[in-house]
Chain A
Amino acid sequence: MIVVQGLSKRYGQHTAVDAISFKVEEGEIVGFLGPNGAGKTTTMNIITGYISATEGKATVAGYDILENPLEVKRTIGYLPEAPPLYLDMTVREYLGFAAKIKRVGKAQRQGNLDTIMDLVKIADVRGRLIKNLSKGYRQRVGLAQALIGDPPVLILDEPTIGLDPKQIIEIRNLIKELGHERTIILSSHILPEVTEICQRVLIIHRGRIVAEDTIENLSAGLSGRSRLAIRVAGSEKEALKICRSIPSVKSAESAGCREPDTIDLLIEANEDQDIRRPLFREMAEHDLPILMMRSVDYSLEDIFIQLTTDEKGVS
Chain B
Amino acid sequence: MLAVFTRELSAFFKSITGFIFMGIFLLITGIFFMSDNLIPQSPNYLSVLGGITFVFLVVVPILTMRMLSEEHHQKTDQLLLTSPLSIGSIVMGKYLAGVAVFLITLIITLLYPLQLSLVGSVSVSEIAGGYIGIFLLGCAFIAIGLFVSSLTENQVVAAVVTFGLLLLLWILDFLQQGLPGDRFSGIVFAILIVVAVAIFLYFTIRNVFIAAAATIVGGGFIAVLSVVRPASFDGLIVRVLKWFSLLARYRDFTGGLLKLSSVVYYLSFTAVFLFLTVRSLDARRWK
Contact = CB atoms under 8 A, between A and B. Distances in A.
B84 interface: yes
A100 interface: yes
Contacts of B232: none
A98 B83 contact: yes
A42 interface: no
A29 B4 CA distance: 33
B82 A78 contact: yes
A151 to B, nearest CB: 10
A97 B3 contact: yes
B76 A101 contact: no
Interface residues on A, range: 20 to 34
Interface stretch (B7-15, B110-118, B248-256): B7-15
Interface residues on B, range: 20 to 34
A234 B7 CA distance: 74
B84 A103 contact: yes
B100 interface: no
A58 B84 CA distance: 17
Interface stretch (A83-91, A164-172, A253-261, A271-279): A83-91
Contacts of B287: 11
Interface stretch (A44-52, A204-212, A284-292): A44-52
B83 A50 contact: no
B188 interface: no
Interface string B83-111: 11110000000000000000000000000
Given A52-B286, A88-B11, A101 B78 contact: no
B84 A102 contact: yes
B82 A49 contact: yes
Contacts of B4: 101
B24 interface: no
Contacts of B239: none
B80 interface: yes
B75 A84 contact: yes
Given A70-B86, A86-B7, A98 B79 contact: yes
Contact of B85 (A76, A78, A84, A101): A101
B207 interface: no
A50 B14 contact: no
Interface string A69-99: 0110110101010101111110000000110
A51 B82 contact: no
B3 to A, nearest CB: 4
Interface in B1-33: 2-4, 7, 11, 14-15
A50 B15 contact: no
Contacts of B3: 97, 100-101
Contacts of A49: 81-82
A145 interface: yes
A47 B181 CA distance: 55
Nearest to A80: B78
B78 A78 contact: yes
Contacts of B7: 86, 89, 97
A97 B14 CA distance: 15
A86 B76 contact: yes
A84 B84 contact: no
A74 B77 contact: no
Nearest to A54: B286
Contacts of B78: 50, 78, 80, 84
A224 B76 CA distance: 47
A101 B83 contact: yes
Contacts of B286: 51-52
Interface in A18-67: 48-52
Contact of B82 (A71, A73, A100): A73
Given A49-B82, A73-B84, A86-B7, A80 B285 contact: no
A86 B83 contact: no
Interface string A111-146: 000000000000000000000000000000000010
A53 to B, nearest CB: 9
A87 to B, nearest CB: 7
Interface in B36-93: 74-86
A86 B77 CA distance: 10
Given A85-B76, A101-B85, A102-B84, 10 more contacts: A50-B285, A73-B82, A80-B82, A84-B75, A86-B11, A86-B76, A88-B14, A98-B79, A98-B83, A145-B79
**8 cross-chain pairs, A with B, having the tightest CB-CB distances, nearest first:** A100-B3, A84-B79, A84-B78, A88-B14, A74-B84, A84-B76, A48-B82, A52-B285
